[in-house]
Structure 1
Amino acid sequence: MDLGILSLVPAAVAIILAFVTRNTVFSLAVACFIGVLLAGQGLLGFPNLLKDALGTTSFSWIFLLELFIGVLIAFFQRTGAIQHFTLIMERKNLSRVKTQLVSWFLGMFVFFSDYFSPLFVGSTMRNLSDKAKISREKLSYIADSTSAPVSVMVPITGWAVYISGLLVGMGAITSPDMAMGVFVQAIPFNFYALLSVLFVGLIAMKVIPDFGPMKKAEERALKEGKVLRDGAEPLMGEELTETPPFEGIKPNVFLNFFLPVLIVISIAVGTFIVLDSAKTMEAFLTASVILGIIMRIQGIPFNDIMKTATAGMKGVLPAIIILAFAYALNKLTEDIGTADYIVSVSENWLTPSLLPVITFIIAAIIAFATGSSWGTFAIVMPLAIPLVFNYTGDEVTTLVLATIAAVGGGGVFGDHCSPLSDTTVLASTGAASDHMDHVKTQIPYALTVAAIACVFYLIVGIVFV
């Protein structure tokens, strides 16, 4: 279906309402309802859209992944592992700067999953961050900026496999091995991802001072001791933020914290190497089961373990509800041709020298409007890459590498800061931040990095054409 300019309406309604009402669920639901009416599907179009979008393997996967992550975090809380980890870190007398730097390093360490990374960093560092009077907005920004921007630059992630897979058959790229080689060569040109990660470190070290809404949030936390603004609604249930440690057991940081994390990393990375597919959901399921067994051996009653697991699942429900509507809106925008319209109105602007920067901007707009970086890659890569190969005579040149990286970086920009994006939601969840507060404080930083990236792409286009 091609609705032309009307195809922009659902995404625009969702984004505008989210900023105005601060209620993401309501905004997404209204956007979906308006979208199905514009598509001529009537009142039944809304429930039918939900059935079509949510009755898929991809949504089932992230749904189960969220549940198992919720269980694991609840187990961390109930065993006292996170609290004990916080005490250990407190003995090091970390300053606000060092606390932010530890969060930054943790995010880069968990490079294999852009879903786990923000949840892990947020839930692990939240207590420590609160004690250091760091706003939840700042913690969610750090967690968000070290998830997708890192994952898109590491060759042993699902992102790398997916992007390189899209490149096979384009120009001189004739095999998966060659495609992965080109992907690796393009990494230095992924200016947005590189600068996003670097920007966090510079902000944390105060080389770049906080500005915009983030500055106000940090001043509130530091001067008033309020890590959340008055009236904020943290995107995590009290089941995960208020779970007390079980009395009568001595927390073992290795068994109750580091071992489950190592299990997740080992299974995710190991299955990627052996099967070319990181079994992240299965990794969390395994870690949750093993930690549950350890808890029983430590003396925690079976009924308490099951109650904790259920509480963990309930704690991530706010995020799951938002993700459900985001998936529905993504399916709707795909059906009504939102991305195709954005591409069609920009085709006449494309010239060899402007190709990298225009590609980045188009990918960023599509990803921001749909909340999907992978969907953006699938749309923009088959359009931009054959075009750049046409300019270079099917040779892999700097212009080709920069254009590939521009698709990746543009997709990450939208995925990184759109209120509709799953990783943005997960960053708010992990840090227990108000979702729209996280989006509002992060966007000025993301736009700053995107503007710098555009300048670099302009320079590359001018110099290497």
Structure 2
Amino acid sequence: MEAGAHLGIISILPAAIAIILAFKTRNTVFSLAVACFIGVLMAGQGLLGFPNLLKGALGTTSFSWILLLELFIGILIAFFQRTGAIQGFTRIMDNRKLSRVKIQLVAWVMGMFVFFSDYFSPLFVGSTMRGLSDKAKISREKLAYIADSTSAPVSVMVPITGWAVYISGLLIGMGPIEDANQAISVFTRSVPFNFYAIIAVAFVGLFAIGAIPDFGPMKAAEKRALEEGKVLRDGADPLLGEELTDTPPYEGFSCSVLATFILPVLIVISIAVGTFITMKSAKTMEAFMTAVVVLGIIMRVKGIPFNDIMKTAMAGMKGVLPAIIILALSFSINKLSKDMGTANYIISVTESWLTPNLLPALTFLIASTIAFSTGTSWGTFAIVMPIAAPLAFSFAGGEITSLVLATIAAVAGGGVFGDHCSPLSDTTILASTGAASDHIDHVKTQIPYALMAAGLAAAVYLVIGFTAV
């Protein structure tokens, strides 16, 4: 298709169908799949259009790279569970006497440290700090908030996580971005514009030290815990910590937390950061692969049978299948939108009223709404990024300007806001589970804090929109 060409109103229907179905069914996989199938039929590609779309979108080096990365992340998390690294870390923290404020700060720092997985982070923070926070009379709602607000908001800002790879993968082919290296570079430059994530993470520390006093339902929960000693309200139905994982520690396995947790994490960080500095490209997949191999060798040397290690690895792969499926469909709808000229059509019908001044703020609000309604940020990225980013590049004349970077960050931040506040979200559920909090109580106490951060972020995006061009 020639530059600027499109299929008219038909070109926006796949994305519209995906959004409508996502609101209606709250199932992003189903919504994206149906949107892709109907889209290829509308484009006149027939019944074979759908498998051909999948082959064209997924048979690429970029997708293979991201697929391998997600698989290695899944294996590493499963190895952490099987070696009992979580339980070992809990015992270490139990031996230290920490004040109420310090316990919250430790949980905050821990959430930022476990940046490589938004799934592992809330489980790890909640489960390891729950005993200490109970003794300090910190409400389970507050612990769940800390675990939740330092998971996805942190992961989305670190350029060596699966989130960064996923979002940068969606940017390939947009504007002047031609390959994965350029895409990750643009993503890294957009991080300072991810105001929601920055504010949300900062708020956790400010609330912990009392610089910002608790308010709303959280204030009531904290008052109950302090004055009555009830970390849960009467009648609460907590998601029990015993149900954190399906992979129990191997019986009789004994190894230090240094070897089973800290060493693998340091390997990931050192390789990813080191290659980013020396080679201008973070070898994230290779970093996680090395950590998996090293931890697997440690497990075998310390007595875990080879067959058990392989079964654990397979369990880890199965655990990331939902993310991989969303990833595959997002690549597909991205390619379909590009082939049908979706962005070109939107530009042609909105150029008279959709000004670049409003683009970052509106993008943030739309992404937030979709993510909250569907409970998934990655699905939101897949729906919104193929539309918002090309529009921003069009307004910027094809250059990578602050408007483009702010729009990309608005998609990322909006998706995270909706995702980690939605009661349907995996990370919200995992935070409630890790902290053993009543799930709805966690949602009710967290939303006012998240809305305050979102309001500030939207205001900054408005300012940028009116000053960047």
State the TM-score, normalized to the length of structure 2. 0.68
Q: Residue deviations 1:246-302, cap 9 Å, x none?
A: 31x433121121111111111111222222222222212211111121222223333
Cα gap change, 1:221 to 1:33, in 2 (>3 Å) = farther
Q: Does 1:9 align with 2:13?
A: no
Q: What residue in structure 2 maps to residue 239 of structure 1?
A: 246
Paired residue type of 2:156: A
* Cα pair 2:343 2:391 within 8 Å, conserved: no
Could you tell me how far 1:39 is from its partner in structure 2?
A: 4.6
Q: What residue in structure 2 maps to residue 415 of structure 1?
A: 415
Q: State how far apart, in whole Å, the 1-side matches of 2:220 and 2:454 are.
A: 20
Q: Does 1:286 align with 2:286?
A: no
* Cα pair 2:149 2:200 within 8 Å, conserved: no
Paired residue type of 1:298: K
Q: What residue in structure 2 maps to residue 264 of structure 1?
A: 268
Paired residue type of 1:196: A
1:371 match: secondary structure: helix
Q: Residue deviations 1:389-426, cap 9 Å, x none?
A: 79xxx9x9xxx64x244223312124314559xxx977
Q: Does 1:148 align with 2:156?
A: yes
1:143-292 to 2 correspondences below 5 Å: 143-151=151-159, 190-205=194-209, 207=212, 209=214, 222-223=232-233, 228=238, 238-240=245-247, 243-247=248-252, 249-292=253-296
Cα gap change, 1:404 to 1:312, in 2 (>3 Å) = closer
* Cα pair 1:68 1:284 within 8 Å, conserved: yes
Unpaired runs of at least 5, structure 1: 19-23, 170-175
1:102 match: secondary structure: helix
> Greater shift after overlay, 49-58 or 321-330?
49-58
2:41 match: secondary structure: coil
Q: State how far apart, in whole Å, the 1-side matches of 2:238 and 2:274 are.
A: 39
* Cα pair 2:221 2:233 within 8 Å, conserved: no
* Cα pair 1:150 1:193 within 8 Å, conserved: no
Q: Residue deviations 1:315-343, cap 9 Å, x none?
A: x1xx4225404541552365246655555
Percent of pairs with identical residues: 40
Q: Does 1:349 align with 2:353?
A: yes
Paired residue type of 1:104: W
> Greater shift after overlay, 221-230 or 252-261?
221-230
Q: Does 1:301 align with 2:305?
A: yes
Q: What residue in structure 1 maps to residue 375 of structure 2?
A: none
Could you tell me how far 1:97 is from its partner in structure 2?
A: 5.6
* Cα pair 2:196 2:417 within 8 Å, conserved: no
Q: State how far apart, in whole Å, the 1-side matches of 2:232 and 2:29 are.
A: 33
Q: What residue in structure 1 maps to residue 360 of structure 2?
A: 359
1:117-132 to 2 correspondences below 5 Å: 117-131=117-131, 132=133
Paired residue type of 2:151: A
1:349 match: secondary structure: coil
Cα gap change, 1:224 to 1:448, in 2 (>3 Å) = same
Q: State how far apart, in whole Å, the 2-side matches of 1:278 and 1:426 are.
A: 27
How many residues were matched structurally?
420
Paired residue type of 2:232: L
1:118 match: secondary structure: coil
Cα gap change, 1:293 to 1:180, in 2 (>3 Å) = closer
1:299 match: secondary structure: coil
Q: State how far apart, in whole Å, the 2-side matches of 1:278 and 1:417 are.
A: 26
Paired residue type of 1:128: T
2:127 match: secondary structure: helix
